[in-house]
Structure formats: structure tokens, C-alpha cells
Amino acid sequence: QERLVQSGAEVKTPGASMKISCKVFGYTFTSYYLNWVRLAPGQGPEWVGIINPSGASTTYAPAFEDRVVMTRDTSTSTVYMELSGLKFEDTAIYYCARGGRLWYGEFHRAFDLWGQGTVVTVSS
Amino acid sequence: EIVLTQTPGILSSSPGDRATLSCRASQSFAHNFLAWYQKKPGQSPRLLIYNAVIRATDVPDRFIGNAAGTDFSLTISRLEPEDFAVYYCQQYGTSPFTFGPGTKVDFK
């Protein structure tokens, strides 16, 4: 069964960094792009960026590009997102979501499979 | 970046009603690369429609997507109790990919 399983909840203080993970099950890890999306209370979803799990190339949303790093570990079929300089407004649920097929160059594709979400709370 | 505006913010409806949700883009983007997602409390978003008009796997045919230039719509032809949720549109034609603020479909 295809699924994305994310790491557990995080509580951080302002200025700290966080690193959360998303493990792929049920399909070939290097076949699809993976995205990160966050959903803050009372707001619409916000796309953070995308990683190519095969070549590790990334594209980040401008709002995050100075403090986000996405990486992957092909040996464990896991992608990671590290966000530094945390602010109160980074409090949100962070999701990984599958995008398009790498072989077909489907950078532009809707997100058809989502992880269960990781709750991140930034509090002093 | 492309800004998506969704209207109405809240749609109060009853089971059996027809619901029409709108999504307007601030500029055009490639290939009608627009999706609709359903979000229920405590659940992850679920893809309903992609490429503006194509239903995702296992999505009932009461969900209908339409496109006209930079105006997009999602129609639920006859609301079922499980359809009361928040719906988001998303464009993935131009990076950064962006989402709308959502339309909540709740009980009248």
C-alpha cells in the first residue's frame, strides 16, 4: 500500500531549528517528486518546496528559501525538511505530499498522496 | 507569485443541495494546472480534481471541475453528509505553487 509516514510532533522555541522526516512505503522512492506543504491555523495551505528524490535537486518557495533545506536518504526511502530560524508564525501542520513522476518530467502535477502531517509548535 | 482567491469563504448548505465553489487566479498559468482538495478536521488533504477538470481516483462523479480562463469552479452536484468540509484550490503550473484560502462548506 502506498503511503507516506511522517515523524512525530515537535515543540521548539523561537530561533531554533527543526528537522522532520517523511518515509515512503509501497512505491519506488526515486520515481516521484516529493513536496512539503504547511497548514497554519486559520490559513490556506502554503507550499514550502519540492525535492527530486533521485538527484536530490530542490526548488524552494521564495518565502522559505533562505532558511529551508530539503534532503533525502535513498537507503531508507526518506526525505527530510529542515527549517531554521523558527518564528511563532511557523506553528503549523507540515505535510509531505507526492508530486509527479520523475521519468516523465512531471514537475507540474497535483499532489495525490499525503503524509499524516507533523504538528510543529513554536512557543517560548 | 500567483494569488488564488476563493469565494465564498463559507457556504452554508443542506444535504442534497448543489454547491458551487469558485477560485480565481491573479494571472494565467500553464495547461490549466489547477487542483481541488478536500480537507476534513484531523485528516490530510485529499485530491479531488486535477488539471482543472479531471477527477482523481475513486472520487465520486458528483464532483465536477470547470475552467474558463483564470476562473475555475468546483461543483458538487448533490451534497452528501460526508462532503461538508473545507475545499482548497491549488495552481501547480507556475512555481511557487500556491493555494487559495479555502471555502468551508458547512451545514445550514
Question: What are A38's three cell numbers?
Answer: 504547511
Query: How much is the pLDDT for A105?
Result: 86
Find the Cα–Cα–Cα–Cα dihedral B49, B55, B58, B59, rounded to 10°: 60
pLDDT at A86 over 90: yes
Query: How much is the pLDDT for A55?
Result: 86
Per-residue pLDDT of B58-86, as tens digits, reads 999 999 999 999 999 999 999 999 999 99
Q: Span B29-55, mean pLDDT?
A: 96
B52, closest residue in chain A (CA to CA): A110
pLDDT at B33 over 90: yes
For chain B, the residues whose C-beta falls within 8 A of a C-beta of chain A are 1, 6, 30-31, 33, 35, 37, 39, 44-47, 50-51, 56-57, 88, 90, 92-93, 95-102
pLDDT at B37 over 90: yes
Is the CB of residue A34 less than 8 Å away from at least one CB of chain B? no
Point out which residues pair with B85 in neighbouring strands.
none
Q: Which of A44, A99, A116 sits opposite B102 (nearest CB)?
A: A44
Per-residue pLDDT of B7-28, as tens digits, reads 999 999 999 999 999 999 999 9
Q: How far apart are CA B26 and CA B32, in angstroms?
A: 13
Q: Could you give the percent of chain B with pLDDT greater than 70?
A: 100
Query: How much is the pLDDT for B31?
Result: 82
* Residue B30 pLDDT level (bands cut at 50, 70, 90): confident
User: Beta strand pairing status for B10-13 and B71-76?
Assistant: unpaired
Tell me which of A55-59, B42-46, B97-101 is least confident.
A55-59
Is the CB of B30 less than 8 angstroms away from the CB of A61?
A: no
pLDDT at A12 over 90: yes
Query: How much is the pLDDT for B76?
Result: 98
Query: How much is the pLDDT for B7?
Result: 97
Of A108, A76, A81, whose CA–CA distance to A94 is shortest? A81
Q: How far apart are CA A119 and CA A124, in angstroms?
A: 16
Is the CB of B99 less than 8 angstroms away from the CB of A63?
A: no
Query: How much is the pLDDT for B50?
Result: 97
